[in-house]
Copies of this chain bind each other. A is one copy, B any other.
Amino acid sequence: MSSTTFNKLVIIGVGLIGGSFALALRKAGAVRRITGVGRSRENMQRALKQGVIDEIAPDMASALHQADFVLLAMPVGQTGSIMAEIAPHLDSNTVISDAGSTKQDVVTAARDHLGENLKNFVPGHPIAGAEQSGVLAAQNDLYAGKHVILTPLAETRTEAVETATALWQACGAKVSQMPVEEHDRILAATSHLPHVLAFALMNHLRNSTDSPESLLRFAGSGFRDFTRIASSSPEMWRDICLANRRALLQELEAFQNELDMLQTLLQEENGNALEQAFIQARRMREDWLNRQD
């Protein structure tokens, strides 16, 4: 399977994620022809000119005709409508996958729209990306050494999972599998919650001053690192928060309990307990760092 070259790859949404997938597979010699589908004529022309794709599909029917693999890489808010659009045109052997940061909502949309083609659907999430977006930011090594999580359904054909796995591995990624719920909970905790906290901090600072310049003038490297994710796409993060709402609300509630506890220790001037809490926090992070490659 790993040496199979696919004839036709279709990328729906040729931005950073979809474009980098295309470039990586082209570099690996894993696909012969790449077809792009997208909303913005300007972006699609750019993708063509950059050599990210070989052709722009005029419509979904021609896009999907004899497609071996389709990657849904448009903003996750469009998942339902895109799935409804592709469903009538899918071949019985075409493997469909996605790249969304949340999986339960994607799976629900797939169950709603894909019908018999559900067995060819491999929900996926490449844990990669950058603050930039758009096809100009696409790189052929974006996924090298990065994690990709697949959350196949009970209905998903084994061959479809193997195909998706092989393609992501050809991009240099490390592919894992887990249940949908576990994915959404883990991502809520380690990615979605931190983003909400960073957004909340910036808004808190904004509301607390008439002079952001004065307040932030002396903010240092710690602030820069902590708030980096607050520079993320508001549109994308609105969609992620809404899509993963339940898991995120659970994380938020539990986090607030933790914060309340620290607040109480501070009110009580309990230096020992504060220090213990900070020691445990640091140890957890240091253990994680040591496990990194």
Contact = CB atoms under 8 A, between A and B. Distances in A.
Interface stretch (A5-13, A22-30, A49-57, A266-274): A266-274
Contacts of A239: 271
Interface in A63-94: none
Secondary structure of the A contact surface, majority rule: helix
Contacts of A255: 200-201, 204
A201 B251 CA distance: 10
A245 interface: yes
| Chain A interface category by residue count | 35 or more
Q: Which interface residue of A241, A249, A289 has the most chain B CB atoms within 10 A? A: A241
A229 B222 contact: yes
**Most chain B Cβ neighbours within 10 Å, of A128, A149, A237, A282:** A282
Contacts of A179: none
Contacts of A225: 225-226, 228-229
A231 B266 contact: no
Contacts of A254: 204, 207-208
Interface in A209-238: 212-220, 222-223, 225-232, 234-235, 237-238
Given A198-B281, A241-B266, A266-B248, A127 B259 contact: no
Interface stretch (A37-45, A110-118, A187-195): A187-195
A186 interface: yes
Given A205-B190, A220-B191, A278-B237, A259 B200 contact: yes
A135 to B, nearest CB: 21
Interface in A155-204: 176, 186-187, 189-191, 193-204
14 contacts: A191-B223, A194-B227, A197-B201, A198-B226, A199-B262, A203-B277, A203-B284, A204-B251, A204-B258, A205-B284, A212-B284, A225-B225, A241-B266, A245-B269
